[in-house]
Amino acid sequence: MNWSISLLGEDLIFPALHTATPDGLLAIGGDLRPQRLLLAYRSGIFPWFNDDEPILWWSPDPRCVLYPTQMYISKSLAKVIRQEQFFCTFDQDFETVIRSCSRIKRKGEHGTWITEDMFEAYVALHRLGYAHSVEVWAQDSGKLVGGLYGVSVGSVFAGESMFSRVSNASKVALAFLCKKVQKKNFAFVDCQIYNPHLGSLGAVEITRADFAAHLAKAIQMPDLVGNWGEIF
């Protein structure tokens, strides 16, 4: 057994990924300043904790990823997209998207891991041009009905959360993201932890070692920093 949980201090450093516990917990503590968050994503690590817990840092094995060219578009989803029931944007309302993700009730979950500290941390990353949102708007009403947000480093988009107020809205958000990042030759979307819903959309599991190798190559690409609504 070679795993241990590191206690982080002020220094911007993370332990080696292989020292994580079997469920993926790597370190505790530290802070959520942008420099640490960006180092975490470039290292294959992400924060995930509840309001009554210290900051917990994770690197699960296996890791769930979605290759943009391999997203599965079902016939029903393709029909929804063709009918143009929705239209999508980047970075038009990041704060509302992350708030909406925090408020959506999910089966088997109580409360939210998107704490106020997490909200403020990702808003700060967004203002620096690293965190991005996809907004899905209803074509008939113009209301925000779905979306997702995450962090971009190199040619990787690290998805954090998504929400949907009407059927298919979050799937449309993911399809829009995958279509757009293909144009910039993104390597993959990091989905973190596998679930059947992600699997139905084409996400797959790879080993942590393979993930780290793919990530190391992907972050050699320049960061796509700025407002993606203006870049794409």
Average pLDDT for 140-166: 97
Rg (CA), the chain: 17
pLDDT at 105 exceeding the cut of 90: no
Query: Is the pLDDT reported for residue 110 higher than 70?
Result: no
pLDDT category at 4 given cuts 50, 70, 90 is confident
Task: Summarize the confidence of residues 58-80 as an average pLDDT.
Answer: 97
Average pLDDT estimate for 106-110: 49
Sequence-separated contacts (24+) of 218-224 with Cβ below 8 Å:
218/153, 218/154, 218/155, 218/156, 218/186, 218/187, 218/188, 219/42, 219/153, 219/154, 219/155, 219/156, 220/154, 221/154, 221/155, 221/185, 221/187, 222/154, 223/130, 223/152, 223/153, 223/154, 224/152, 224/184
Close Cβ partners of 180 (under 8 Å, ≥ 6 residues apart): 90, 228, 232
Question: pLDDT tens across 113-126, in order?
Answer: 799 999 999 999 99
Q: For the chain, what percent of residues have pLDDT higher than 90? A: 92
What are 27-49's pLDDT values in tens digits?
A: 999 999 999 999 999 999 999 99
Query: Would you state the structure tokens that stand for residue 56, as one six-digit string?
Result: 């917990």
Span 50-64, mean pLDDT?
95
* pLDDT single digits (tens) 71-99: 999 999 999 999 999 999 999 999 999 99
Does residue 111 carry a pLDDT above 90? no
For the CA atoms of 33, 125, 119, 135, what is the dihedral angle to 10 degrees?
-170
| Token pair belonging to 55 | 């900051």
Tell me which of 50 and 213 has the higher pLDDT: 213
Q: What percent of the chain has pLDDT over 70?
A: 96
Chain-centroid distance of CA 228 in Å reads 15
